[in-house]
Amino acid sequence: MSKLTHLDDTGAAHMVDVGDKKSNQRIAVAEATVQMQAETLKLILNDGLPKGDVLATARLAGIMAAKRTSDLIPLCHPLQITSVKIAIEQRGDTELRLTGTVKVNGQTGVEMEALTAVSIAALTIYDMAKAVDKGMIISQTRLLLKEGGKSGRFEAKAL
């Protein structure tokens, strides 16, 4: 098992020094799902909620969150992200699947940015629709793909 990189030799948390790493293209893709009542999903898809366009707002929230990840996760590096894309697709009558893709040309990866993006997008959907469905479930938040860097490619197994 490899050593945890955010702990020093004494076990204290620290920010990893990436100064000697080569910059290269890095990409990460994460997903999350939001389950809800069928009527709630219909309202979201038909812009039937009083707070406005839920999906557009969730996409924007996810993009903004990816850009602010280092403000939220204590040991993340601030990055010059080159691209953030949030895709939202309907699955059946009661579920939305969110996928966040983040790219950077840098010295460290963007896994946390992709995970933060889909998490905040999902929370935004919940916030905008909670008046009609407080029982929504946000789940299956996970990293799907990571490319670039010393550790190479990671691809999650299908659920």
CA distance 41 to 113: 27
CA distance 41 to 35: 9
The helix-helix angle for 111-129 and 54-67 (nearest 10°) equals 150
CB 100 within 8 A of CB 123: no
| 127 carries an active-site annotation | yes
CA distance 157 to 43: 33
Amino acid at 143: L
CA distance 35 to 25: 34
Closest CA to 35 of 91, 94, 87: 94
Q: Point out the catalytic residue in the list 9, 20, 127, 133.
A: 127
- Active-site residue set: 127
